Homo-oligomer: A and B are copies of this chain.
Amino acid sequence: MATVKLWSDAEVQADPRVKAVFDDIRAARRSDFVNNFWRGLANQPAVLERTWASLKAVMAADGALDPLTKELIYIAVSTANGCSYCIHSHTAAARAKGLSDAQHGELLAIIGMASETNALVTAMQVPVDPEFLA
A104–B70 touching, CB < 8 Å: no
Is A20 part of the contact surface with B, judged by Cβ < 8 Å?
no
Chain copies in complex: 6
A111–B33 touching, CB < 8 Å: no
Is A12 part of the contact surface with B, judged by Cβ < 8 Å?
no
CB distance from A71 to the nearest CB of B (A): 9
Could you tell me how many residues of chain A have their Cβ less than 8 Å away from some Cβ of chain B?
81
CA distance A110 to B53 in the complex (A): 13
Q: List 23 A-B contacts (CB under 8 A).
A: A3-B91, A3-B123, A3-B125, A6-B126, A6-B127, A35-B131, A46-B57, A58-B110, A64-B103, A73-B110, A77-B77, A78-B118, A80-B80, A80-B119, A83-B118, A85-B127, A87-B122, A87-B125, A89-B129, A111-B119, A112-B119, A115-B116, A116-B119
